[in-house]
Structure 1
Amino acid sequence: MKRMTFLKTSAAAIVFAAFSGSLAASAQAEEYTKDHPLKVALVLHGALGDKSFFDSAAAGMKLAEEKLPVTVKIIEAGYQKDRWQPALADAADSDYDVLIAGTFEMTGFVAEMAKDYPEKKFIVFDDSPDFSTGCCSNVLGIQYLTSTAGYLAGYAAAKVSTTGTLGEILGMDFKTVTDFAVGFEQGAKAAKPDVKILRAVANTFSDPAKGKELALAQLGQGADVIFPIAGSTGIGALQAVRDAKKLGVGVDSDQAEIFAATDPAQADVIFTSVEKKVGQSLYMALEQTIAGKAKYGTMELLGLQDGAVGISKNAYYEKLVPADVRSEVDALEKKIVSGEIKVETTMK
C-alpha cells in the first residue's frame, strides 16, 4: 500500500518555496549529520491508524528520516485527554531538539512547555499560539486554508450528486475543521445554487460508530455524497457510504489510495479527498529548521496556492467524475490560485 504519494515532488517544491520565501534565517544553524542528527518527537493526542490526519503526519516523519539527518520518535498519547500534557512533558524532559504536536487541543500545552524549555523548538500544526502576546519565540505555527481545496471538492460533489443533497460530518465545530466545510459548501453552491447540504457535528474524532450513525441519518434524508471531516469518526461514516453504495469525500490524505489495498470496496466510493498535506508541511519545516531558516515565533498559513492543500485526482476521481466536470474543476483551481475566485474561510 503506497502511503507517501501526497509528497509529490512538484507539490513539495511549491511548499518549500512558500516556506523559504517567508522564513528568514535565524540564529547560526547547528550542523546536523547522520552521526549527529536532529532529534524529533511527534506527540500525537490520539493514535496512528486514523487513515487521515495522524497518519499523514507520521508519513512526513518517515520521509524526513529517509531524506534528512533526523531521528524521529512518534509518541501516541491516546485519546484520553489527561494523558496529553504528561506525554508532551515527558518528551520535553528527554533529549529531543524539536517537539511537534497538532491542533488546538495541544496548543496550550505547547505554549506552556515552550516557556519552560526555551532551548528546545516546538512546531504546532493545524493551529498556532497567539504570538501577538509576545510568547513562544521558539514555536512555529503551521495552519492550512483547507477551504480553498474544499471548494473544489464541493463543486465536484454537487455535480456528481443525483439527489441534490450532500452531507457533512464534522468531528468538532472548530475553525480548523469548519474551514473544510465552508469551502465545500461554497463550491457546491457554485455548481448548483439549490443544492441541499446537511451538516452534523459528532463532537469526537475517535468514535467510528458515531460517524456511521450520523452518516446513516444523512443517507436517510437523501444525501448521496457525504464528506466526513472527523478523523477516526469519519471512518465509520465512510463505511456507511460504502455499504449504501453512495459516494464519499475523503479528508486530510488521499483516503481512496489508503483503503485500496485493504478495503477496495471502500476505495471505490471515495471519488476524491480534500488533502491537508500535514506530513509534507512538517517535512519542509524540519528541512528549514536544519538549514537554520525556519522562522520560529511566527505562524504560516498555507493554502492551495502554496501546494499545501488540494484534492486527490487519482484513478477513482477519473472514473467517478465526468471529464467535463474535471475540466471545470481544473479551471476553478486556477482561478482560486490567481485570486479571481475568493474562497470564504474561517482562518482569519
Structure 2
Amino acid sequence: MKKMMTWIMIMVLITGMMLTGCTKSADTGTPDTAEGEEAVKVALVVAGGLGDRSFYDSSNEGIERAKAELGIEARVFECRNDPSLFNDQLVQASQYASVVVVVGFEFYDVVQELALEFPEVNYIYVDNEIEGIDNLTTISYKENEGSFLAGAMAAMLTQENSIEGIQQSKVIGMVGGKDLPVIRNFKAGYEAGAAYIDPDVKVETIYAGDFEDPAKGKESALALYSRGADIVFQVAGKTGEGVFEAASEVGRFAIGVDSDQRYINPDVIVASMIKGVGLSIFESIERIQNGSFEAGKVYHYGIDENGVSLGYGTQDMKEIVTEEMKTKLEEIKGKITSGEIVVPEGK
C-alpha cells in the first residue's frame, strides 16, 4: 500500500512539472510564431542608407512593424550608394534570409540575376514592375494619384491670399531626384492635379541629379523660388532636405514626400505626399506567413489600397492647408477612386 501511494505521488509530481513546463514554453513573447516554429528571416537591402527620413526609412518601418506584429527576424543591408556593394550585399542577404526586400531602382538588373541563382528565396522588389520570374515579386505605387492631390493642394494654396508667404504667383515647383520613370509619374500627377484646380497654374520642375545630396536639393529649390514658385514639392529622398532649407531661407513653402515630413519643419512644410512603402512591405510579409502571397506577380498600391495619401502632420502644428481645402481634396480622392477623374501616368 505504501509503495502504491509513493508511485501515485511521483506521478502527480511529474504531471505537474510537465504542465508547468508547457505553460512557460507557450509564453514566448513572439507574435504569430508557433512553439518550435522557426521565425521567418527577412532581409532589407537598400541602395542608399537609413536616416533619410523618407523612402528608405519608410521601408524599414514596414520591417520593424513585421518584427513587432509577425515575429520575424530581420537584418538591414545598406549599400550607401556604392555600386560595388549592390551585388555583394544582395548575395549576403540572400544567404541569410528566405525573404529579401529590395529597395532602390539601382537593383533592377542585379535582382533579376540573383533571383535565378537563389530560386528558394522570395524577392520583393519595391517601386518597380517586373514579370516572368517566379520568385521575384514587385510592388508598384500609383504615385501619380497621390501627386494629383499634392498638385491640387499646391494650386489652391498659390491662389490663397490670406496665408502669409503665399503671393498668388500661380507658379509651383517640383524638385526630382533624377529623371526616372517613377519620378516622371510623380510629375504627371502633380501637373494634372494643379491643372484640375486652375489650368493657368504653371508647374516648374528641376531634376537635382541625386537622391542623397541636400546641397543640390537646396540649389534646385532656390532656382525654382527665384522663378516665382510659392511652393516646391520635393521628390528627391534625402536631397529633398535641401528643399526644406531653401524654403525656410526665402520664406516660402514646400511639400514632403514618402513619409509625413511636416515634423522636420512645420513652418514651411505644408503637407506630405505619403507613399505606403512600409505598409506594402508589411502586408507582403503577412501574406507570405498566411499563405496568400502570390509570388511573381505585381502588386499595385494606389489610393484604394492606402498606398498613397496626403499627411498634414499632427494637430499641434499650425494649419496651413485649411479645413475647406482638405474637404475639397477628399472630394477629389473620391472622384479618383470612382473613376470620374482619370489621373495620367508618367511611367
TM-score range, shorter-chain basis? 0.7 to 0.9
Q: Which amino acid aligns with 1:202?
A: A
- For residue 42 of structure 2, the aligned residue among 27, 40, 43 is 40
Cα distance in structure 1, aligned partners of 2:328 and 2:151: 12
Query: Per the alignment, do residues 103 and 46 of structure 1 end up closer, same or farther by CA in structure 2, a change over 3 Å counting?
Result: closer
TM-aligned CA deviation for residue 218 of structure 1: 0.8
Residue 330 of structure 2 is matched in structure 1 by 330
Residue 91 of structure 2 is matched in structure 1 by 89
Secondary structure class of the residue paired with 2:255 = strand
Residue 124 of structure 2 is matched in structure 1 by 123
TM-aligned CA deviation for residue 274 of structure 1: 0.7
Secondary structure class of the residue paired with 1:340 = coil
Residue 229 of structure 1 is matched in structure 2 by 235
TM-aligned CA deviation for residue 267 of structure 1: 2.4
What is the TM-score with the length of structure 1 in the denominator? 0.84
Residue 319 of structure 1 is matched in structure 2 by 319
Cα distance in structure 2, aligned partners of 1:168 and 1:74: 31
- For residue 193 of structure 2, the aligned residue among 187, 192, 196 is 187
Q: Which amino acid aligns with 2:38?
A: H
**Greater CA radius of gyration, 1 or 2?**
2
Cα distance in structure 2, aligned partners of 1:120 and 1:218: 45
Q: Please say if residues 150 and 273 of structure 2, whose CA atoms lie closer than 8 Å, have aligned partners that are also in contact.
A: yes
Cα distance in structure 2, aligned partners of 1:64 and 1:33: 16
Cα distance in structure 2, aligned partners of 1:100 and 1:323: 38
TM-aligned CA deviation for residue 225 of structure 1: 0.1
What is the TM-score with the length of structure 2 in the denominator? 0.84
- For residue 167 of structure 1, the aligned residue among 173, 180, 183 is 173
TM-aligned CA deviation for residue 190 of structure 1: 1.2
Residue 217 of structure 1 is matched in structure 2 by 223
Q: Please say if residues 272 and 314 of structure 1, whose CA atoms lie closer than 8 Å, have aligned partners that are also in contact.
A: yes
TM-aligned CA deviation for residue 282 of structure 1: 0.2
* Between 164-173 and 99-108, the greater mean CA deviation after superposition: 99-108
Structure 1 moving runs of 4+ over 2 Å: 31-35, 313-318
Q: Does 1:310 align with 2:316?
A: no
Q: Please say if residues 39 and 72 of structure 1, whose CA atoms lie closer than 8 Å, have aligned partners that are also in contact.
A: yes
Q: Please say if residues 170 and 228 of structure 1, whose CA atoms lie closer than 8 Å, have aligned partners that are also in contact.
A: yes
Q: Which has the higher contact order (CA 8 A, sep 6+)?
A: 1
Spell out the pairing of 1:23-102 with structure 2 (5 A cutoff): 33=34, 36-92=38-94, 94-102=95-103
Q: Does 1:245 align with 2:251?
A: yes
TM-aligned CA deviation for residue 269 of structure 1: 1.3
TM-aligned CA deviation for residue 95 of structure 1: 2.9
Residue 282 of structure 2 is matched in structure 1 by 283
Residue 16 of structure 1 is matched in structure 2 by none
Cα distance in structure 2, aligned partners of 1:300 and 1:273: 23
Cα distance in structure 2, aligned partners of 1:173 and 1:78: 20
Q: Which amino acid aligns with 1:293?
A: S
Secondary structure class of the residue paired with 1:267 = coil
Residues 310-335 of structure 1: per-residue CA shift (max 9 Å, x gap) = 11144478710123222211111111
| Alignment size in residue pairs | 305
Secondary structure class of the residue paired with 1:251 = strand
Secondary structure class of the residue paired with 1:304 = coil
Listed as ranges, the gaps of 5+ residues in structure 1 are 1-30, 260-265
Residue 23 of structure 1 is matched in structure 2 by none
Residues 268-301 of structure 1: per-residue CA shift (max 9 Å, x gap) = 2111111111001000000001112110111112
Residues 74-131 of structure 1: per-residue CA shift (max 9 Å, x gap) = 1111111121111111222x231111112332121111111001011100010132x2
Q: Which amino acid aligns with 2:139?
A: I
Cα distance in structure 2, aligned partners of 1:82 and 1:238: 31
